[in-house]
Structure 1
Amino acid sequence: MKRVVSLIAGALLLSAQAVGLAQAYPSKPVKVVVPLAAGGTGDTLARTVGDGMARELGQSVVIDNRPGAGGLLGTTSVLNAPADGYTLLAVSPSHVINPALHAGSTYDPLRDFEPITVLAYTHQVIAAHPSVPASNLRELIAYAKNNPGKLNYGSAGTGSATHLNMELLKSMAGVDIVHVPYKGSTQARQGVLAGEVQLAVDGLLPLQPLIKDGRLKVIAVTSSRRPQSNPEIPTVGETLPGYASDTWYGLLARSGTPREAISRLHQAAVKALQSPAVREGLTKLGADPAGNTPAEFRAFLAEEQKLWGKVLKDSGVKPQ
């Protein structure tokens, strides 16, 4: 009888300790691994939201930049960290593209991570050199159909979102436009400015001044909705119904992270995204705040995985 009482007492003690730990989260700084170099849109966005989350959590949110191997380096570092809610991963579409693109990828984007929320959406633009005889997507498609293989477009590299966004368009529109991969979006932007390629897919923010002064023409945004900052720019889907490719940034934790921690992190992120300071910071980046539920984010990741797996297969891109 004494042994039974002792076991019950021990179980109650462990339960009480677990509740105490859950209530105490977070009791130390939270690290967010950004698998990108410092200074870019994804890094700045993570820092902006991280500052807002820190105010909600009552703990510092530290950004740890770990670029390399197309995001695999930073992702692997999170997989090797404890599943305690203190090491998070900031992700973009490459999170679901990399496992299909890289033969040596060691993670599953759904099985190995717990979604927290989509933080924000940014916009990619199809831009054209002024010499291209088209001012909108309908005219561009018509020209490409009449001149197969004569147009080139630059991307940030094979397998990048800028590459796959155009490959999806080519497939849906039935046009032949030649892909020219560059070593980054800056180089692709310089390529279309110099006339090395006639088209490029790039972020709206860095393209805005070039479009404003007439050095480039804007054709359409690849997103499912027009950008809040530039509602005059049409979406690809307005000409090609069913086309939608949102550039998003989200927050994940390792699989196995306590549900209490996921719930607390989600709550902090959503409140941060609703704050005027964070919203103003995201607007300056040309980003639209999000803040969906973990379940909604998981369903979205599954859709993204299916979409980009098909685009990679249809475009003939081989695992590297």
Structure 2
Amino acid sequence: MHKLAHALLATAIVLPAIAATPALASDTYPGKPIRMIVGFPPGGSADINARIVAQGLGKQLSTSVVPDNKPGAGGNIAATEAKRATADGYTIFYSTSAVVLAPALYQNVQFDTFADFVPVSLTAIVPLVLVTTPGLPVKNVHELVAYAKANPGKLNYASSGAGALLHLGGALFAKETGIQVTHVAYKGSAPAITDLIAGSTQFMFLPLSDAQPLIKGGKLKALAITSAKRSTLLPEIPTIKEASGMSALEMGAWQGILVPKGTPEPIVRQLREATDRTLKDEAVRAKLIAQGSDILGGTPQQYTAYMKSEATRWGQIIKESGAKVE
């Protein structure tokens, strides 16, 4: 942030008339409600977290931050709309890991993750839980891998759709463990869970927020959680590294805030500082943790670096798995 501040100061000296505009914008910002574009339907983990963050952010900025759900095309519709929005700080994008998956999955993506947006801050990550149908005769990850190797091609894993993180998580698991399993894509998590409980498929990765009640209710069996540390919500479930010995299987559905390219730096800074305070607010933290989220935060530079590492990681998995979405 210091380098950007120095650059703005230098610009202000050379071009005072132009530089005055962002400063003025920051002085009066925000003067009206802020729209937060969310790329998924109401009720999912991304939407719930977005609403928690929006409420906290509104409190910090003394205005309303209103979630606006624009689901479809794996988050691409929302990202495209966010890209085209006026870069004045009154439209922010609650992005998810989908924003770096899309370029590798779709042929005609209408946005460039790194050229069309300015990162504000990561917010949270929801770890995944490896769950199986109750009737599968395995008690842990090693037994699942052994069973799959003894029955090559006979196990099916479900996902919420081709190219979704739940699909790619299963593909990564198969790659790292060397098992032969079949992917079954559903139109959303709900039908995938229904068939998994019924035994039509045998295992899948689910966001912790979705998996917890099903595990507690005995409808699904949990083998591991994909976070680096055990969850306080399911402390008895081992981490994926504990269960498999492989840290390469650590993953999660991460979220953050982006704004359209061209948003004045003083406003970006104001949003970042407000997000930082939001994520430190005890009430906000309690709500996010109750959803199974690990709170992230960090600088825009850290957010950019994180997105680039995730784009590289999942781009390779997508290439190897052959996952494509028309």
With normalisation by structure 2, the TM-score equals 0.90
Measure, in 2, the Cα distance between the counterparts of 1:46 and 1:67: 14
Q: Which of 26, 34, 46 is residue 30 of structure 2 equivalent to?
A: 26
1:246 to 249, 252, 255: 252
Partner of 2:150: 146
* 2:216 corresponds to 1:218: no
Q: Distance in 2 between matches of 1:227 and 1:241?
A: 16
Q: Displacement, 1:58?
A: 1.4
Counterpart-to-counterpart distance in 2, 1:202 and 1:280 = 21
* Correspondences of 1:55-66 after superposition (within 5 Å): 55-66=59-70
C-alpha displacement of 1:223: 2.8
**1:293 maps to which residue?**
299
Larger radius of gyration: 1
Establish whether residue 236 from structure 1 lines up as the match of residue 240 from structure 2.
yes
Hey, what does 1:3 align to over in structure 2? none
Alignment of 1:189-228 (within 5 A): 189-228=193-232
In 1, Cα distance between equivalents of 2:73 and 2:19: 42
Distance 1:16 1:114, change over 3 A: closer
Counterpart code for 2:92: L
Cα distance in 1 between the residues matched to 2:21 and 2:169: 49
SS in structure 1 opposite 2:262? coil
Is 1:50 matched up with 2:65?
no
1:116–1:293 CA contact under 8 A, matched in 2: yes
Aligned residue number for residue 308 of structure 1:
314
Q: What is the aligned-residue identity percentage?
A: 38
Deviations 1:28-70 (A, max 9, x none): 2211100111222211111111111111111211111111222
Please tell me the residue identity of whatever aligns with 1:115.
P
CA distance in 2, matches of 1:152, 1:118: 33
Assess, with a 3 A threshold, how the Cα gap between structure 1 residues 88 and 136 changes in structure 2: closer, same or farther: same
Tell me if the contact between 1:226 and 1:234 (Cα under 8 Å) persists in the aligned partners.
yes
* Cα displacement (A) at 1:13: 5.7
Aligned counterpart, 2:7:
none
Distance 1:104 1:20 in 2: 38
Q: 1:144 and 1:15 mapped to 2: Cα distance?
A: 62
Kept after mapping to 2: 8 A contact 1:134/1:143: yes
The alpha carbon displacement at 1:15 in A equals 4.7
Residue in structure 1 matched with residue 282 of structure 2 by the alignment = 276
- Tell me how far apart the structure 1 counterparts of residues 16 and 184 of structure 2 sit (CA, whole Å): 64
User: CA offset at residue 309 of structure 1?
Assistant: 0.6
Contact kept? 1:228, 1:288, Cα under 8 Å = no
- For the pair 1:165 / 2:152, whether they are aligned, the reply is no
| Cα distance between partner residues in 2 of 1:75 and 1:283 | 26
The equivalent residue for 2:73 is 69
Q: 1:267 aligns to what SS in structure 2?
A: helix
1:87 and 2:91 aligned: yes
- Tell me how far apart the structure 2 counterparts of residues 17 and 111 of structure 1 sit (CA, whole Å): 23
Change in Cα spacing, 1:277 to 1:125, as seen in structure 2 (3 Å) is same
Residue 290 of structure 1 aligns with an amino acid whose one-letter code is: L
Amino acid at match of 1:55: K
Runs of 4 or more above 4 Å deviation: 11-18
**What is the CA deviation profile of residues 165-202 of structure 1, one whole-angstrom value per residue up to 9, with x for unaligned ones?**
01011111111111111111111110111111111221
AA at the equivalent of 1:278: V
**CA-atom RMSD, angstroms?**
1.6
Cα distance in 2, alignment partners of residues 131 and 51 from structure 1: 42
1:40 alignment partner in structure 2: 44
CA contact (8 A) 2:23 2:266 kept: no
Greater displacement, 22-31 / 154-163: 22-31
Deviation at 1:88, TM superposition (A): 0.9
- Tell me how many residue pairs correspond in the alignment: 310
Q: CA deviation at 1:16?
A: 4.5
Q: What TM-score results when the alignment is normalised by the length of structure 1?
A: 0.92
Task: Quote the offset at 1:111 in angstroms.
Answer: 1.5
Matched, 1:178 2:182: yes
Distance, in Å, in 2 between the alignment partners of 1:21 and 1:182 is 46
Note the C-alpha offset of 1:114.
Answer: 0.9
